[in-house]
Amino acid sequence: MITPKGLRHLHASFLINELNVNPLVVQKRLGYSDIQITLGVYAHLYPTIDSEIANQMNGKIKIQTSGNSLLNNWNGNQYINRSNESNLEDEK
């Protein structure tokens, strides 16, 4: 026989594990006054949240690297302050 407390926990676990429901929604459904209570009890059910977010972000951010450098011996993205460009020419 399942107790009311067990049914409540089962409901929250199902929302989190099967439906990937946001903790704020779980908090509201369970009637907790503070999100800290919800997370304190159910945070262990979100172990893969970081990898899920990383998978969703994969390919969404485009990075364009610099093709050629204005600085000697530098192969990466860099910010060049154009007001100092004459100083760079003097260093060459």
Q: Could you tell me which residues come within 8 angstroms of residue 32 by beta carbon, excluding any fewer than 6 positions away?
A: 38
Domain ranges of the chain: 4-57
pLDDT digits (tens, 9 = 90+) for 14-42: 999 888 888 999 999 999 999 999 999 99
pTM beyond 0.85 = no
pLDDT score, position 63: 73
DSSP string, 17-65: HTT---HHHHHHHHT-S-HHHHHHHHGGG-TTHHHHHHHHHTTTS----
